[in-house]
Structure 1
Amino acid sequence: MDRWPLWVLIFAFIVDLAVRVIAIIVIPRNRRPTAAMAWLLAVFFMPYIGVLLFLVIGNPRLPRARRRKQEQINEYIAETSDQLHFGTLRPHAPQWLRSVVAMNQNLGALPISGDNGAHLISDYQESLDAMAEAIRAAEEHVHVEFYILQSDAATDNFFRALEETAARGVPVRVLLDHWANRWKPRYRATIKRLDAMGADWHLLLPMQPLKGRMQRPDLRNHRKLLVVDNKVGYLGSQNVTDSSYNLKKNIKRGLHWVDLMARVDGPIVLSLNAIFLSDWYSETDEILSDIDITTPGVGTGDLDCQIVPSGPGYEVENNLRLFLALLYGAQEKIMIVSPYFVPDEALLLAVSSACDRGVQVELFVSEEGDQAVVYHAQRSYYEALLRAGVRIWMYRKPFILHTKSLTIDDEIAVIGSSNMDMRSFGLNLEVSMLVRGEEFVAEMRAVEDEYRSLSRELTLEEWMQQPLRSTVLDNLARLTSALQ
């Protein structure tokens, strides 16, 4: 066999060296150290594949046009934010919490409001049916935005409510994530049903290159929310689909998702609707000027609430900063529920520092995972968490604990769509709600107690008996989780 000519080898060496040098210059810029190191390892060990992946998914930002739209939305909300300062706030808020609220408004433009009602719904079907009844009471508009939206037996009541409401002439607007739904069962049937009822529906972050609509393929809109007439809203972790997601692999394994939704009323619904209106504008270029976000509905409680949007349209990770600030403010108790807990260095330090301060910290996760890479990446942190003093509760299979919540002491809670992982911090559009009020936290505590009763505690002794192959797999997954 003839050898390669010397000049070819020299050229290949120069190209290889140039790629590595350029990678060192380009990749770390404005990127977290963990993400930069993971990308550099990918490029150095798999030069061609690593470079290709970086070119395709190396930019964790939305296209410039979309980011500009988000800036316009923030500017508009900031200009009208005085009109969103509704209700009377509870007195004697901790000073550190006031600064957190100010940070949230600076990052996401939405202020805190008082005199709100908020209640939890932890039963999966009950949540779907409660949203259906709210839709049936609509008089002005129904705004539906869910990561996954499927017409099936479990959601039939929800869709029938949309059909009945649309038939009365009430505008029904629907947003659903393209990539999350396109390859799921019943996608075509769902779209046909939306068309038949006359709903005005659009895809979120569509991947349609022939229509000139492209962005990084794994950027997703992960939000879950419903707004009816600016009077009632729902948000949380639950998608509008059967608890098995109608996937054959889930049905075969007997997997069912466990979720938590919050029903809200009062001024906070205006902020929730502002999120929908911003996403609607991002996808359609249409400003729904007929929707009034300056006249609040009457709340059934006196809770202080603040909506916190986050995602690649913002300059920083709004949700991560919220979580960090709350963790450092905790004095007695921290309860974290996250199906995908893959912390960066800052979040891991905040959790371990809380333990060092004597704060009780508990983490609820699933015993069984539905996403292999994230599941193993999460497991790679268990030893450090257990050694720090975190109590880890593993919700027993075949259920996937999908709730995303955080409670601080006995007064503050966060509920929404955001996991505590790299994807939710940097790649997904998320929405979270900060709540101050002992009665709401008491409801959260009841849910946490239920989760604890259905879980088993993972001990350090048990964990240290993990086989070497599991440790290797976990650590490899941990490296890939940082590729953003």
Structure 2
Amino acid sequence: MKRRTRWLLWTTAGLASLFIVGNILLFNALPKPMRLTAPVTLDYGVADARFERSMGLVLQQPITTGNDIELLRDGKAIYAAMLGAINAAEHSITFETYEFWGEDSAGRLASALADAAERGVAVHAVLDFIGSAQADTDKFDRMTDAGVELIRWREPSWYDLARFNHRTHRKLLVKDGHTGFIGGANVADNWLPGNDRTAYRDNHFRVRGPVVGNMQAAFAETWIDASGELLLGDAYYPALEPAGDLAVQVVNSSPREGRHRVRKMLLYAIAAAEERITIGTAYFYPDADFLDALTAAAERGVDVRILVPGDSIDQGFVRHASVNRWGPMLEAGVSLYEYQPSMYHSKLMSVDDRWATIGSTNLDNRSFRINDEANLNIYDDAFALMIRELVESDIADAAHYDLERWQQRPWRKRLFGWISMTIGPHL
């Protein structure tokens, strides 16, 4: 009995030691990145040369000149432009998206990608596993049978469960290395009108110029993670001539250490605002420090306007959790609007009509810490003004959510909001 007891004690001690040493090694090998928690204060604005210079250095992302960006409004125009690019591709297509399902949208795109592969184009597609779970498997079979290199991102596996919640939320398409697409729209039938649905309101953008090479590099990074393969050569990275006058920066963000870039980028831009901040976002549930930054901007006289979905939001729990935290912002003078006609899904921000950011990033914890995201920052007065006016045109179809309405909201909505807030850090 004593021998058995000693054996159990030694075994227990050994397992405990292995657990402790294993955790030490694990947390040293995979240290947790520090979040920006201290308030950002600046004595200059976005028009100052220091803003652009610091953005390039702090985010470790180059700012390229000579680019052109074309607005594409809503699903019909977005998908038509993307299909046109795929059908015209001669060398390569790289495609990454979160949602991918539906016959009218994903079905047509899957067929176009398959046709491109059959005519000899190198086609690489990364579709998020959760976002494409609704798709019929025949779409995947059609593509892979044609030669499309297709990867379902983060498909459940016992050896990778710790990263299962890390989704790709990027919306990237690059044709022949010289024409790119980026914005808020997934590839799903919700973005198209139907007999029983109203199409989501969204914006996407067609990009030409040297910055497309950086968009390709953002996709290539995901492709390495997913396949272990490095994409190289003129088919993916051709020499790119200037196509316009815009100075543009790709900002790609991911859950990995040192790569939580979008939250840092947005906090810096908010701190630099002197006149106005105009935001359109599908999901508005950032952390308390981020809300404090918006509140502080309003308190120093910045006109802060934020457009979010109304009753048509597809994730109501996010809306109620968000509304419960609006009080201090509303008291400080932040203007909040809820879009009425349909689900608002765009992701836009303009500061002082000088700087704008577009892409896949929502103002929520998932985009800041959990998802892979990609945005373009544009350093141009005319473009930033266009983004502000684009959001304001949708504010015309929104209901103003003022402080009186917030104070008088029903107790059941407050309760639902508090319940939703308990899982807020994991949303």
- The residue matched to 1:220 in structure 2 has which SS? coil
Q: In the alignment, which residue of structure 1 is the partner of 2:340?
A: 396
Q: In the alignment, which residue of structure 1 is the partner of 2:3?
A: none
Instruction: Output one character per residue of 1:77-117: Cα deviation in whole Å (capped at 9) or x when no partner.
Output: xxxxxxxxxxxxxxx75312321221111xxxx31111111
Instruction: Output one character per residue of 1:391-438: Cα deviation in whole Å (capped at 9) or x when no partner.
Output: 1111004x1111111111112100111111111111111111111112
- The residue matched to 2:66 in structure 1 has which SS? strand
Normalising by structure 2, we get a TM-score of 0.84
Q: 8 Å contact 1:311–1:317 — kept in the other structure?
A: yes
Q: In the alignment, which residue of structure 2 is the partner of 1:227?
A: 174
Identify if the C-alpha distance between structure 1 residues 323 and 217 changes in structure 2 by more than 3 Å, giving closer, same or farther.
same
Q: In the alignment, which residue of structure 1 is the partner of 2:58?
A: 103
CA RMSD of aligned residues (A): 2.6
- The residue matched to 1:289 in structure 2 has which SS? coil
Q: In the alignment, which residue of structure 2 is the partner of 1:50?
A: none
Please state if 1:240 is matched with 2:187.
yes
Q: In the alignment, which residue of structure 2 is the partner of 1:52?
A: none
Q: How far, CA to CA, are the matches of 1:359 and 1:480 in structure 2?
A: 31
Identify if the C-alpha distance between structure 1 residues 457 and 302 changes in structure 2 by more than 3 Å, giving closer, same or farther.
same
Please state if 1:218 is matched with 2:165.
yes
Please state if 1:128 is matched with 2:71.
no
**Distance apart, 1:343 and its partner CA:** 2.0
Q: In the alignment, which residue of structure 1 is the partner of 2:366?
A: 423
**Distance apart, 1:462 and its partner CA:** 1.9
Equivalent residues in 2 for 1:307-322, closer than 5 Å: 307-315=250-258, 317-322=260-265
**Distance apart, 1:348 and its partner CA:** 1.1
Q: 8 Å contact 2:279–2:391 — kept in the other structure?
A: no
Q: Which amino acid aligns with 1:115?
A: G
Q: In the alignment, which residue of structure 1 is the partner of 2:20?
A: none
Q: Which amino acid aligns with 1:98?
A: R
Q: In the alignment, which residue of structure 2 is the partner of 1:177?
A: 128
Q: 8 Å contact 1:148–1:239 — kept in the other structure?
A: yes
Q: Which amino acid aligns with 1:159?
A: A
Structure 1: segments with no counterpart, 5+ residues: 1-58, 68-91
Q: Which amino acid aligns with 2:205?
A: A
Equivalent residues in 2 for 1:424-443, closer than 5 Å: 424-443=367-386
**Distance apart, 1:305 and its partner CA:** 0.7
Q: In the alignment, which residue of structure 2 is the partner of 1:337?
A: 280
Instruction: State which of 203, 209, 212 in structure 2 corresponds to 1:266.
Output: 209
Please state if 1:366 is matched with 2:299.
no
Identify if the C-alpha distance between structure 1 residues 154 and 205 changes in structure 2 by more than 3 Å, giving closer, same or farther.
closer
Identify if the C-alpha distance between structure 1 residues 379 and 291 changes in structure 2 by more than 3 Å, giving closer, same or farther.
farther
**Distance apart, 1:475 and its partner CA:** 2.2
Instruction: Output one character per residue of 1:43-97: Cα deviation in whole Å (capped at 9) or x when no partner.
Output: xxxxxxxxxxxxxxxx9x9x96xx9xxxxxxxxxxxxxxxxxxxxxxxx753123
Q: 8 Å contact 1:149–1:239 — kept in the other structure?
A: yes
Q: How far, CA to CA, are the matches of 1:471 and 1:129 in structure 2?
A: 42
- The residue matched to 1:351 in structure 2 has which SS? helix
Q: Which amino acid aligns with 1:205?
A: R
Q: Which amino acid aligns with 1:470?
A: K
Q: Which amino acid aligns with 2:200?
A: W
Q: 8 Å contact 1:303–1:435 — kept in the other structure?
A: yes
Instruction: Output one character per residue of 1:17-60: Cα deviation in whole Å (capped at 9) or x when no partner.
Output: xxxxxxxxxxxxxxxxxxxxxxxxxxxxxxxxxxxxxxxxxx9x
Instruction: State which of 154, 159, 162 in structure 1 corresponds to 2:110.
Output: 159
Q: In the alignment, which residue of structure 2 is the partner of 1:138?
A: 89
Instruction: Output one character per residue of 1:120-144: Cα deviation in whole Å (capped at 9) or x when no partner.
Output: 1122110011011111221210001
Identify if the C-alpha distance between structure 1 residues 128 and 244 changes in structure 2 by more than 3 Å, giving closer, same or farther.
closer
- The residue matched to 2:217 in structure 1 has which SS? helix
Equivalent residues in 2 for 1:11-30, closer than 5 Å: none
Q: In the alignment, which residue of structure 1 is the partner of 2:150?
A: 201
**Distance apart, 1:245 and its partner CA:** 8.7
Q: In the alignment, which residue of structure 2 is the partner of 1:23?
A: none
Q: In the alignment, which residue of structure 2 is the partner of 1:454?
A: 397
Count of aligned pairs? 387
Q: In the alignment, which residue of structure 2 is the partner of 1:275?
A: 218
**Which 4+ residue blocks in structure 1 deviate beyond 6 angstroms?**
none
Identify if the C-alpha distance between structure 1 residues 309 and 458 changes in structure 2 by more than 3 Å, giving closer, same or farther.
same
Please state if 1:191 is matched with 2:140.
yes
Q: How far, CA to CA, are the matches of 1:166 and 1:337 in structure 2?
A: 37
Instruction: State which of 262, 271, 285 in structure 1 corresponds to 2:228.
Output: 285
Q: In the alignment, which residue of structure 2 is the partner of 1:410?
A: 353
Instruction: State which of 412, 417, 420 in structure 2 corresponds to 1:469.
Output: 412
Q: How far, CA to CA, are the matches of 2:302 and 2:234 in structure 1?
A: 44
Q: How far, CA to CA, are the matches of 2:385 and 2:108 in structure 1?
A: 30
Q: Which amino acid aligns with 1:234?
A: F
- The residue matched to 2:104 in structure 1 has which SS? coil
Q: How far, CA to CA, are the matches of 2:324 and 2:93 in structure 1?
A: 43
Identify if the C-alpha distance between structure 1 residues 483 and 143 changes in structure 2 by more than 3 Å, giving closer, same or farther.
closer
Q: How far, CA to CA, are the matches of 2:98 and 2:170 in structure 1?
A: 6
**Distance apart, 1:289 and its partner CA:** 2.9
Q: In the alignment, which residue of structure 2 is the partner of 1:115?
A: 66
